[in-house]
Chain A
């Protein structure tokens, strides 16, 4: 099976930041008023949503007035469990998505809700094997049929590995079989490599699935030495983005042969830090 959209640049362009609904209202205002040079370089906002939330009625108008696109990041669907078990949540999410009118929707592979509990940092990545792949492919195809915009699937944070497939092979197969685009999260990739003793640069450079990537995520992370023999990786979004991570962004863009959009996921960071990262990404990477 060939990639459905290798020659298409994808619906998303430029630089975006993750934001809550409250932050989105403020960022739209700053962008519209050009209060800081960084905000005028912003092209889109990534909005995380739960099915129990309500989209503020003013949000679509604020985005439009600010000239910003929206990306919806789902936070609760378990793509490795049958979607029919989550039908009500999926239906409500689709309603929210239609109110926002994003250019695309994305979700990390993983167990994000266990029973009624939203797991957040306690999520579980999939077992990387054929059985998981089959369920995920069915789910992604079903979700794509429910949405009016493309669905991108993201490599999740990984702290330990189970399964006989490696992460990037697994992601490529998800994209090829379900005909969806991918989000490559640079920090999550570094974490996976730390857990499996791989060199992120070499692993990414050798990956033949890069053509499916439609968006890059960048955030802070920590790597600390550990007695288990491999360093311990911490998903620390608020921390400064490292030069190493930006080097991987450059590599991904070079290998993809296109200016893949970059989303800064900096929840918890100050607006000052986010602004400086927007400028760094736009100067050093987008140039």
Chain B
């Protein structure tokens, strides 16, 4: 680790390197906040529902955990957005009972054009997809009713609704299959709920709520 690594870690994890002289420290702290706000803007534009749920259901400072996790993604993420996706995934993975929100993240990630890695939802094999009449698309399986969850959280997140709205929503534990195919104009993906077309695998009776 050189001094640039240390500066970068400090900027995103919210500490000032000890060797930084006094006059630089105030603006370094301000810059750290500015950069984390920039990441926050990306979170709320690319992953609005996941971010809203994280703040409403897990911790009002949820975003801060994601900023702190972002530097570690530099070894695998080609761009900042992919790094944020991996950081969100990592943070949610470490929280008991956050599986539904983690699935919501995968669902949101399916439509993001500049994500340079695949969503980490379970992928349905091509033979099964083809047998269901789905060609030219990746199909992912979820164990929660993610399209419905996403629709409701889109409403709440867009309205900056109180956290109580999210808390009062019952997440349904029910299998969902979602396909994504390249958009006709070549930019991004078209995401479609294909649940009715695929044979159910079945989900266990574990509690659905966060």
Contact = CB atoms under 8 A, between A and B. Distances in A.
Interface of A: 52, 80-81, 111, 114-122, 124, 127, 159-162, 195, 226, 228-230, 232
B27 A230 contact: yes
Nearest to A115: B74
25 contacts: A80-B4, A81-B2, A81-B4, A114-B5, A114-B71, A115-B77, A116-B74, A116-B77, A117-B74, A117-B78, A120-B79, A120-B80, A122-B35, A122-B38, A124-B4, A159-B30, A160-B24, A160-B27, A160-B30, A162-B20, A162-B21, A228-B26, A228-B30, A230-B27, A232-B30
B19 to A, nearest CB: 9
**B interface bracket (residues with beta carbon within 8 Å of A):** 20 to 34
Interface centre among A115, A119, A122, A160 (most CB of B within 10 A): A160
Contacts of B20: 162
B31 A114 contact: no
Contact of A161 (B3, B27, B30, B35): B27
Interface of B: 2-5, 7-8, 11, 20-21, 24, 26-28, 30-31, 34-35, 38, 71, 73-80, 82-83
Q: Is the interface of A mostly helix, strand, loop or mixed?
A: loop
B89 to A, nearest CB: 16
A221 B71 CA distance: 27
Given A117-B74, A121-B38, A160 B8 contact: no
B26 A232 contact: no
Contact of A119 (B2, B7, B21, B80): B80
B187 to A, nearest CB: 11
